[in-house]
Amino acid sequence: VNYGPMVFLAAFFAMASSWFAFVLKPQLQTGQMVPTNTVPAGLSYPAARPGLAQQGLQVYRENGCYYCHSKQVMQESTVFEVILIEAGTNPPALQSAIAHLAPKLAESGKALEDLPKPILASVRKDRADRAVRLLTASGAEAIPWVRPTGPDIARGWGKRRSVAEDFLFDDPVMLGSQRVGPDLANVGVRQPDINWHLRHFYAPTVVVPGSVMPPYSYLFEKRRVGLRPSPNALAGGADLGVGPGFEVVPKPEALALAAYMISLRADAPLFSAPYSVPGTLPPPETIAETNAPSANGGAPTNAPSQ
Amino acid sequence: MIAVLPGERLLRVCLLSLFSSAAFWLVIGSIFSLIASIKFHSPEFLADHAWLTYGRVRAASTNLALYGFCIPGGLGAALWIIARVGGTNLVFAPGVLGGAVLLNVGVALGLGGILAGGQLTGFEYFEMPQYSAIFILLGYMLAGASAVLTLHSRSNRELAVPQWYLMAAIFWFPWIYSTAILLLLVYPVRGVAQSVVAWWYAANLQFVWITLAGLAAVFYLLPRTLGRELNSRHIALFGFWMLVLFGSWTGVPRSAPVPAWMPSMSIVATVMTSLLYISVLLAVWYTIRGTSHTDAGSERGVKKEPSVPSDGSADIPVRHVGAASQLGAQSRGCGTRSEAPLPTCLGAARFAKFAVAAFLLAGLISILPVIIGRGEWVTFTWLGPARWQFAIYGFFAIAVFACIYCSLSEFAGQGDELPRLANVQFWLASSGTLLIGLPLAGAGIIQALKLRNPDIAFVDVSKATLHFLRLSTVGDLLIVAANVILLFSIISCIARSRSASARAVIADSTAEVLR
């Protein structure tokens, strides 16, 4: 029997099925994605990066930074807290509700002090919903508080998991495959200082002792100080091993890369990756009778970064 | 000694051009890999120049390994196996030569683009810039056309197991590569769809294509060196189905910020590929043990010719009748030359066995973490590079090395030094693979466990892996040495065969004159 055509068909069928599943379908599902809205602020997300940061994305690509840095925050699960905001006008009913939900807190007798106060911590959504209903029924005001968990989030690498929207305007999308260095999905939140980044590119081990990142000194120009020092020169040259009479001036590539680092902020709460942002809840003492802005600026801070 | 037919001479020229360019790029690539490895524990090493920065050196090393070595080396091994099993001469040989030239031009351009221009595409294992990728695709298709035509002209119509694998491999690469070029470089898709296509491409190249071509070599070499039939053909074909069906669905990592069905599909497919590994293990085990509960020859209804001394007898009639028809007539079961045991002193069986062991180890690294904890805990760790080392070098490259040595001994005779070189090369390559793969796997596990604990500072996590990385540099050094020996073997074979063929030409022409 001549199996030649059969092998060809077999390979063709297998290839075609995987092509439909992992090329065509993803393109249909995510290739036409449009910006979404943050929840609950309703602002458009994501916004395109500033021009310099977009150039920095290309510097990131040209130097293969994606080999050592991932841009994917992983999230294990989501837990809920129940927070009591206002006691309302029926303290006995509320006390009994709290006694039902959190007996220890009720026994301590301080359940209604220092509001807002978490009544339940690290529970699943159904239990949090029940508790909120119970507390609300007693005339109090309570809200569920969404908290993503996982090692990455505990490390402070992100507030929530990375989602497809975070990379909507990137070209190319470089998600990374290894963590030789830390995850960069939110490096702009952790380290918004452009000078820190520039110094770090030039001499990583000086800025972060024990770092295994190679120095990117070729992104800088080391030169003799002219009539007056360059305004762009890196501060603290002596620490960076720059001799007296010399200064280190970042090249445009370094400035672009640093701008890109600062633009890496994927911390907007979205419908597909929700979390509660401190600040959406006005502190109780500022629930003012007037319309004046409250002490902390009043504005909800879940505005999308960038 | 196999007679040097005109067709045989053509095959020799074609294969040596593919193999020598593959070995050349492998040496260059492994030097870059050594530099990259040193940079891990000494980050300041060669850090002052943009073209030697870690990202570019690493990209150069992986892309040279894939497009510089695996593609031409795999094509050469495929042509050799197809010609031998089919008992036929090479068809459309200019395609192979032209393809080799185009591949070399493409790889050289790509290397220059990556190092000097920083024109990496940004997609791992697909970093060759667009202008060089076109050359690679065309070169592959030219040489692949020759492989398909040679397969078509086989004298034995029934396909043997290696031919199944190779036929699928030949068609697989142009499809995935052209898809990746079109959707990532020419008309890039938007957002994370790019990453999905890139992951799909990388998995299909590094797992499906590499495994198809590598297993074809193993399934051809093992029976031929042991002088037995593959046992059994059905298990090997089951493995083929598992590979093309499930292997092509792997690739999207657990952590991917894409709709959840994609990583889930990939995880299911990864677990299903365990069937492939099991079937390969069984086929190789039964073949080595030699218990024949199915006699492949009789099963196919073909009477095996009892003990035809294929070496000597092939010589005389071939001069009068066409080579292909004669070889076909000689044994319809499977090509003559596939029946002839290969010289054992080259240790081709040892190469093949190590390749299978590395293949299984790579499979273990990719499947075990998925079964234990859904694979989330090992993403982003050194286990990925460890798997790469076992799959690309330990499995594929070492299987291709065995094909290269066997074809060299057919072309130019073994001489005294070829078995010695093959022996030294085997030990260097295999110990180098283990010295890279095992420490990286250890580093990966430690890194994974420490990353799980947010109380351990990230700098301490990287510090904990440094000793393993230092050890792997030793392995990289051994692999550079092994690759240099391979290149030397090929070059010395070219030199010897040129002097031998010159003598043959003189003998032929004088014979004409004298008669």
pLDDT of residue A82 exceeding 70: yes
- A207-to-A13, A200, B95, B348 alpha-carbon distances in Å: 54, 6, 56, 53
ipTM above 0.90, yes or no: no
Residues 6+ positions from A46 with CB-CB distance below 8 Å: A35, A165, A166, A168, A169, A266, A268, A304, A306
Position A8 scores a pLDDT of: 83
Position B344 scores a pLDDT of: 67
Local confidence band at A298 (pLDDT 50, 70, 90 cut-offs): very low
Q: What is the mean pLDDT of chain B?
A: 86
Q: How far apart are CA B183 and CA B127, in angstroms?
A: 14
B387 touches chain A (CB under 8 A): no
Do B164 and A21 count as a contact with CB atoms less than 8 A apart?
Answer: no
Q: What percent of chain A has pLDDT over 90?
A: 53
Q: Closest residue of B to A32, CA-based?
A: B190
Position B310 scores a pLDDT of: 39
Which of B44, B182, B204, B248 should be substituted to probe chain A, the one whose Cβ sees the most A Cβ atoms within 10 Å? B248
What mean pLDDT is predicted for residues B410-425? 85
Q: Which of A169-178, A203-212, B118-127, B490-499 shows the lowest mean pLDDT across its residues?
A: B490-499
Position A288 scores a pLDDT of: 41
pLDDT tens-digit readout, A23-51: 999 999 998 889 999 988 889 999 999 99
DSSP 3-state of B342: coil
Surface of B (354-373) touching A: CB under 8 A = none
Surface of A (145-174) touching B: CB under 8 A = 151, 154-155, 161-164, 166-174
Token pair for residue B181? 């070029």
Whose tokens are 């992986």? That residue is B62
pLDDT of residue B82 exceeding 80: yes
Which of A78, A161, A175 should be substituted to probe chain B, the one whose Cβ sees the most B Cβ atoms within 10 Å? A175
Local confidence band at A153 (pLDDT 50, 70, 90 cut-offs): very high
pLDDT of residue A295 exceeding 60: no
Token pair for residue A34? 């449009």
pLDDT tens-digit readout, B102-125: 999 999 999 999 999 889 999 999
The residue among B269, B250, B160 whose CA lies nearest residue B209 is: B250
pLDDT tens-digit readout, B91-102: 999 999 999 999
Q: What percent of chain B has pLDDT over 90?
A: 68
Q: How far apart are CA B324 and CA B327, in angstroms?
A: 5
Position B393 scores a pLDDT of: 96
What mean pLDDT is predicted for residues B487-503? 85
Dihedral, CA atoms, B168, B170, B171, B177, nearest 10 degrees? 120
pLDDT tens-digit readout, B298-320: 334 333 333 334 343 333 333 33
pLDDT of residue A60 exceeding 90: yes
What mean pLDDT is predicted for residues B273-296? 81
Asked whether the whole model's pTM tops 0.80, one would answer: yes
Do A173 and B192 count as a contact with CB atoms less than 8 A apart?
Answer: yes
Which residues of chain B does A173 touch, with a Cβ-Cβ cutoff of 8 Å? 122, 191-192, 194-195
Q: How far apart are CA B113 and CA B413, in angstroms?
A: 40
B257 touches chain A (CB under 8 A): yes
pLDDT of residue A85 exceeding 60: yes
What mean pLDDT is predicted for residues B17-45? 94
Which residues of chain B does A62 touch, with a Cβ-Cβ cutoff of 8 Å? 118-120
Whose tokens are 């957002």? That residue is B191
Local confidence band at B341 (pLDDT 50, 70, 90 cut-offs): low
Q: Closest residue of B to A23, CA-based?
A: B197
Q: How far apart are CA B163 and CA A166, in angstroms?
A: 46
Position B512 scores a pLDDT of: 65
Do A10 and B241 count as a contact with CB atoms less than 8 A apart?
Answer: yes
Which residues of chain B does A26 touch, with a Cβ-Cβ cutoff of 8 Å? 192-193, 196-197, 258-259, 262
What mean pLDDT is predicted for residues A10-14? 87
Which residues of chain A does B159 touch, with a Cβ-Cβ cutoff of 8 Å? 2-4, 7
Cα B256–B259–B265 angle (5° rounding)?
80
Position B342 scores a pLDDT of: 67
Do the strands A44-45 and A77-86 form a parallel or antiparallel pair, or are they unpaired?
A: unpaired
- The DSSP result for B437-488, as a single string, is HHHHHHHHHHHHHHHH-TTS-HHHHHHHTHHHHHHHHHHHHHHHHHHHHHHH
pLDDT tens-digit readout, B206-265: 999 999 999 999 999 999 888 888 888 899 999 999 999 999 999 999 889 999 999 999
Local confidence band at A90 (pLDDT 50, 70, 90 cut-offs): confident
Type of residue found at A25? K
Position B117 scores a pLDDT of: 84
Which residues of chain A does B196 touch, with a Cβ-Cβ cutoff of 8 Å? 22-23, 26, 30
pLDDT tens-digit readout, A255-293: 999 999 999 999 899 998 999 887 655 444 444 444 444
Position B140 scores a pLDDT of: 97
Q: What percent of chain B has pLDDT over 70?
A: 87
DSSP 3-state of B311: helix
pLDDT of residue B73 exceeding 80: yes
Local confidence band at A5 (pLDDT 50, 70, 90 cut-offs): confident
Token pair for residue A44? 């458009």
